[in-house]
Amino acid sequence: MGVATARALAQAGRRVVLLEQFEVGHARGSSHGGSRIFRLTYPDQHYVRLAQGALHAWRELEAESSEQLIEPTGDLTFGALAVECAQALASCGVRHELLTGTEAAARWPINALPTEDVLYQPDGGTTLADRAHGALLGSAVEAGARVLDHHPVTALERANGCVLVRTTAETFSARACVVAGGAWSRALLAGVEIELPVIPTRETLTYFRIPDPLSLPPVIDDAVPNAEEHGLRRTGLINYALPAPGLGLKAGLHHAGPVTDPDQPGTPDPAIVRWVATWAEGRYPELDPEPIAIETCIYTNTADESFVLERHGRVVVASACSGHGFKFAPLFGRTIAALAADAAA
């Protein structure tokens, strides 16, 4: 979100400094890895329309960078959620197909019960996340943004007509300051008396071998496990899987991880790995259920999975995660930049 915002501000002719406590592209926050699901498929029209705007913004970035950033496979949703999402897509005039399990299993290498509802939306796919992040960063630098790695912001201070941004190396005086600090934002904002109601959780991701992964549409499946039976801390909200370039298939149980401190080294949860392997083996007939890689990634969650993009005087809060924010980055970068322009006025 910070990189996308720096890009939008620099393209609007603003002087921008992007401060990163580690190195841009590190693996300790929320944005690392090779892929994220891109989908218009949401049960809520508001998110469908936002995702339509985001798709347009990704297409512009693809044209600007001359790179493909989304693998256009479409996406699949299983279960009761499929019907809810189909209604929201229909209300927004978005093309989609509601299939039976038998029809879906005939079109893709997946297992589905004959009468199971399966929603296919052809505009979805896999965002090639590392490449997309690189394209946003390249565009920001090209437009004139200064990027400073190893510049942890230690405090913010409101001053007369500006915000003082203190780092371990130097202090910057800015007309506006955007805090897009992911799981670290809450503590930084508390220093300027802004309450950000988010809780970081550490989510476990598991990778599997599968033939021709990039041809597979990302899958969302609302059949969650019984937590007690599988030794899980939380049932999670949905199972998901998507291609992982260079690796195979990446799968997880959305919102199943424990509350975490982003400064602590996290460890994957073996119970989640076991459940996800069971689910993925059941859903993909060609998958090897022996995990080939496991990692963690942090969600910064609001209570209802919404995002916080708001201005408090000269400080702008940009917290867009809850485990589904990546797809909106180039769009939200512009929204946040507009808030920052107001803040600087």
Under the rule (CB under 6 A), what is the footprint of ligand FAD?
A: 1-2, 19-22, 29-31, 36-37, 152-153, 180-182, 184, 188, 203, 205, 252, 297-299, 320-321, 323-327
Q: Nearest approach, Cβ of 241 to ligand FAD (angstroms)?
A: 10
Q: Nearest approach, Cβ of 58 to ligand FAD (angstroms)?
A: 11
Token pair for residue 37? 């699901």
Closer by beta carbon to ligand FAD, 100 or else 260: 260
CA distance 56 to 26: 27
CA distance 252 to 122: 22
CA distance 333 to 135: 13
Q: Nearest approach, Cβ of 100 to ligand FAD (angstroms)?
A: 26
Closer by beta carbon to ligand FAD, 14 or else 39: 39
Closer by beta carbon to ligand FAD, 85 or else 105: 85
Q: Nearest approach, Cβ of 129 to ligand FAD (angstroms)?
A: 7
CA distance 215 to 298: 27
Angle at 42 between CA 211 and CA 319, to 5 degrees: 95
CA distance 177 to 166: 11
Q: Nearest approach, Cβ of 51 to ligand FAD (angstroms)?
A: 9
Closer by beta carbon to ligand FAD, 152 or else 289: 152
The number of helix segments (H) and strand segments (E) in the chain equals: 8, 19
Closer by beta carbon to ligand FAD, 100 or else 233: 233
Q: Nearest approach, Cβ of 233 to ligand FAD (angstroms)?
A: 16
Q: What are phi and psi of 52, to 5 degrees?
A: -60, -45
Closer by beta carbon to ligand FAD, 20 or else 84: 20
Query: Side chain identity at 170, as an amino acid letter?
Result: E
Q: Check residue 258 and report its DSSP letter.
A: P
Angstrom CA distances, 262 to 29, 90, 229, 300, 325, stand at 7, 40, 29, 10, 18
Residue with structure tokens 């506006």?
Answer: 176
Closer by beta carbon to ligand FAD, 88 or else 105: 88
Q: Nearest approach, Cβ of 199 to ligand FAD (angstroms)?
A: 14
| 55: helix, strand or coil | helix
